[in-house]
């Protein structure tokens, strides 16, 4: 009797003090990890990219897997239907205020849903996606699978917003070349309604995000391969985000082979965007913990699609190698851990194929 009274009193006290904690104090309860906790992404300078320093002599230049004419010609009817009514991803600047708020709200909706239980130790549905990325990290980075896998991962995330959170609006994308070197000035970061601010590092370390829709967010996946609760943090560096410029994108896109372009994109603008936003975004394995991840990867996928638009063969052929050194083929599996069906490389090369995947049309393009 006496013991239970003590417990009752103690738990009442805890509830009371938690309920009167101001939001900022609650935010501070997740530790702000130092920069050294977050492994950064490997980069290549634009000069080295121009000199093809990232490409070993024999790498990727041979063994291009040719198109499967039967497969791609069979898509004609579906792709015609798709062309008539594609999902158009709209660049953030012309994305309406209502769409922006709905998009942010849908991400928060996923964060407020329970985890599936298949991605332990994820604590909510959103973190299922973070854990998935963490699990697949070695398989889908630093090899040619990077662009095709992240294209599907991004689309699956967006279809999940639609399916599980009723987000039926067009999807946004972010043209980072418009703000290369000044990411912090876009209203994505400056508005109280969106992603929260982009502070510079303090004493060389990231800063917890206390503004925007995700103020005070605790990340439970990462850093690296672990799961230590930490605040959503950033450490913006203009000298790095300046590399997300049109010249660098065009340098990568001037490469004619998929795998050569992939290498330049991954270690070039892609890596600089992650490292330049810093903190959680520079955590290779668990960077999707920061919701700006999806905007950054829409930029990476956009560059890939622009490269593909230059030649029809770029939506029907593939080359390069996977993380084990095996050549990618049209039949190489792209898996998202069961959140959506496994697909093959052939299924994701043409974003306008019109095929049905997991009940949704694979059918999108960018507004420019
Ligand atoms: Cu990734």
pTM score of the predicted model: 0.91
- Residue 69 alpha carbon to ligand 1 centre in Å: 31
- Residue 222 alpha carbon to ligand 1 centre in Å: 13
End-to-end, the C-alpha distance of the chain in Å comes to: 70
- Residue 323 alpha carbon to ligand 1 centre in Å: 14
- Residue 148 alpha carbon to ligand 1 centre in Å: 11
Q: What is the pLDDT of residue 76?
A: 87
- Residue 298 alpha carbon to ligand 1 centre in Å: 12
Q: What is the pLDDT of residue 355?
A: 96
- Residue 127 alpha carbon to ligand 1 centre in Å: 14
- Residue 202 alpha carbon to ligand 1 centre in Å: 26
- Residue 343 alpha carbon to ligand 1 centre in Å: 18
The Cα-based distances of 281 to 225, 266, 288, 321 in angstroms read 14, 14, 7, 26
- Residue 294 alpha carbon to ligand 1 centre in Å: 10
- Residue 105 alpha carbon to ligand 1 centre in Å: 23
- Residue 149 alpha carbon to ligand 1 centre in Å: 9
Nearest alpha carbon to residue 26 among 35, 34, 17: 17
- Residue 142 alpha carbon to ligand 1 centre in Å: 10
Q: Tens digit of pLDDT for each residue in 53-93? A: 998 766 556 678 889 988 988 888 899 999 999 999 999 99
What is the set of domains in the chain, with CATH numbers? 35-366 (1.10.1280.10)
- Residue 147 alpha carbon to ligand 1 centre in Å: 9
If one counts every other C-beta atom within 10 angstroms of the C-beta of residue 24, the result is 11
User: Are the CB atoms for 207 and 199 separated by under 8 Å?
Assistant: yes
Q: What is the pLDDT of residue 55?
A: 87
Give the single-character DSSP code of 153. H
Instruction: Specify burial of residue 20 (Cβ count, 10 A radius: 0-12, 13-18, 19+).
Output: exposed
The Cα-based distances of 286 to 134, 148, 154, 195 in angstroms read 5, 19, 15, 17
Q: Tens digit of pLDDT for each residue in 346-360? A: 999 999 999 999 999
Instruction: Give 278's Cβ-side CA count (13 Å radius).
Output: 28
Rounded CA separation 296/302 (Å): 10
Q: What DSSP element (H or E) covers 360?
A: strand 360-361
Nearest alpha carbon to residue 356 among 366, 344, 347: 347
Q: What is the pLDDT of residue 6?
A: 37
Rounded CA separation 10/54 (Å): 60
| pLDDT tens over the chain, length 368 residues | 343 333 333 333 333 333 344 444 444 469 999 999 998 999 999 999 999 999 876 655 667 888 998 898 888 889 999 999 999 999 999 999 999 999 999 999 999 999 999 999 999 999 999 999 999 999 999 999 999 999 999 999 999 999 999 999 999 999 999 999 999 999 999 999 999 999 999 999 999 999 999 999 999 999 999 999 999 999 999 999 999 999 999 999 999 999 999 999 999 999 999 999 999 999 999 999 999 999 999 999 999 999 999 999 999 999 999 999 999 999 999 999 999 999 999 999 999 999 999 999 999 999 99
- List, as one string, the DSSP characters of 239-288: HHHTTSSHHHHHHHHT--SHHHHHHHHIIIIIHHHHHHH-GGGG-TTTGG
User: Are the CB atoms for 358 and 340 separated by under 8 Å?
Assistant: yes
Nearest alpha carbon to residue 281 among 268, 294, 300: 294
- Residue 62 alpha carbon to ligand 1 centre in Å: 26
Give the single-character DSSP code of 26. H
Q: What is the pLDDT of residue 39?
A: 87
């Amino acid at each position: 009797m006496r013991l239970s009274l003590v417990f009752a009193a103690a738990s009442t006290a805890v509830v009371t003090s938690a309920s009167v904690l101001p939001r900022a104090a609650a935010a501070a309860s997740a530790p702000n990890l130092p920069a050294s906790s977050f492994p950064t992404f490997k980069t290549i300078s634009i000069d080295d990219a121009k000199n093809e320093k990232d490409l070993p002599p024999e790498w990727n230049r041979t063994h291009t897997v040719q198109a499967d004419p039967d497969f791609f010609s069979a898509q004609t009817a579906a792709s015609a239907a798709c062309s008539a009514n594609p999902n158009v991803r709209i660049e953030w600047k012309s994305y309406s205020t209502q769409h922006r708020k709905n998009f942010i709200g849908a991400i928060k909706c996923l964060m407020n849903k329970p985890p599936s239980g298949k991605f332990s130790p994820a604590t909510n549905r959103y973190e299922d996606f973070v854990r998935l990325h963490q699990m697949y990290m070695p398989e889908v980075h630093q090899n040619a699978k990077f662009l095709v896998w992240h294209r599907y991962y991004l689309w699956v995330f967006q279809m999940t917003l639609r399916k599980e959170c009723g987000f039926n609006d067009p999807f946004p994308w972010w043209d980072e070349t418009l703000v290369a070197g000044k990411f912090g000035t876009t209203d994505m970061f400056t508005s109280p309604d969106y992603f929260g601010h982009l502070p510079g590092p303090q004493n060389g370390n990231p800063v917890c995000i206390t503004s925007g829709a995700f103020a005070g967010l605790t990340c439970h996946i990462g850093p690296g391969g672990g799961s230590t609760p930490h605040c959503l943090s950033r450490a913006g560096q203009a000298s790095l985000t300046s590399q997300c410029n049109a010249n660098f994108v065009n340098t990568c896109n001037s490469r004619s082979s998929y795998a050569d372009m992939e290498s330049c994109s991954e270690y070039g603008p892609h890596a600089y965007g992650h490292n330049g936003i810093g903190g959680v975004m520079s955590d290779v394995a668990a960077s999707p913990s920061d919701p700006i991840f999806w905007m950054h990867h829409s930029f990476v996928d956009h560059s890939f699609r622009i490269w593909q638009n230059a030649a029809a063969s770029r939506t029907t052929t593939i080359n390069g190698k996977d993380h084990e050194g095996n050549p990618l083929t049209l039949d190489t599996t792209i898996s998202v851990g069961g959140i959506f069906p496994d697909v093959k490389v052939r299924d994701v090369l043409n974003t306008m194929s019109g095929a049905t995947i997991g009940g949704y049309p694979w059918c999108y393009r960018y507004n420019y």
